């Protein structure tokens, strides 16, 4: 396991090493704006299966996809409603995961066979550099055993996982809660997981956009 401290001068080197590992089908632990994430190349089925094994994650629990820019949403969503667009504009980059109808670009093994995918743009320069440098979609979920707390630093996250991690991008403590997760259907927003973005904030964003 290679640990790269990316708090200062090694950001580009660390991102490059992470992308090389992901491209080769390896697992990577990297920081986000909420908690540390466990990442794999989304179009590599064995790599994604290793995420499930590493986390001891139930097979019916889908993996989210992280994007570098809000404008990439159309590439992974089969359709983008006005409400989804309003929430993305209000909270991305940031701690809001939006569940949308998936496009053919997102493999079924990422979504556990579901017709939807959770998507987010993290507000973290290291994560976004990795995502920007990768020429493939990246599936990223919290770097912890399923239903267990996520450790504050990358090394600790990697150490407790049940599968080997190739690269850890260590960027200091991450202590926030995981992102808020919402599903939007016919303009109505349902909160699937509570997090940093509250229901009142979601409502205000939709009202401001006239949705």
Is residue 106 within 8 A of residue 76, CB to CB? The reply is yes
Angle ∠(185,187,193) on CA atoms, nearest 5 = 55
User: Residue 140: which of 99, 171, 110 has the closest Cα?
Assistant: 110
Which pLDDT belongs to residue 77? 96
Which pLDDT belongs to residue 5? 75
127 vs 178: CA distance, rounded Å = 15
Q: Which residues of the chain have pLDDT under 50?
A: none
151 vs 118: CA distance, rounded Å = 22
Which pLDDT belongs to residue 125? 95
């Amino acid at each position: 396991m290679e640990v790269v401290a990316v708090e200062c001068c090694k950001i580009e080197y660390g991102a490059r090493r992470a992308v090389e590992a992901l491209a080769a089908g390896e697992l990577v632990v990297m920081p986000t704006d909420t908690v540390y994430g466990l990442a794999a190349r989304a179009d590599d089925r064995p790599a994604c299966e290793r995420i499930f094994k590493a986390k001891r994650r139930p097979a019916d629990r889908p993996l989210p996809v992280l994007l570098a820019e809000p404008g990439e949403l159309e590439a992974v969503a089969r359709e983008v409603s006005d409400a989804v667009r309003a929430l993305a504009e209000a909270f991305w980059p940031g701690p809001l995961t939006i569940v949308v109808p998936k496009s053919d670009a997102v493999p079924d093994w990422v979504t556990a066979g579901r017709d939807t995918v959770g998507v987010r743009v993290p507000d973290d320069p290291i994560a976004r550099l990795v995502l920007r440098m990768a020429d493939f979609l990246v599936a990223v979920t919290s770097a912890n055993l399923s239903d267990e707390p996520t450790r504050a630093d990358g090394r600790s996250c990697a150490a407790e996982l049940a599968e080997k991690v190739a690269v850890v991008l260590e960027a200091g403590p991450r202590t926030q809660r995981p992102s808020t997760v919402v599903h939007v259907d016919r303009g109505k927003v349902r909160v699937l997981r509570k997090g940093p973005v509250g229901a009142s904030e979601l409502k205000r964003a939709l009202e401001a956009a006239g949705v």
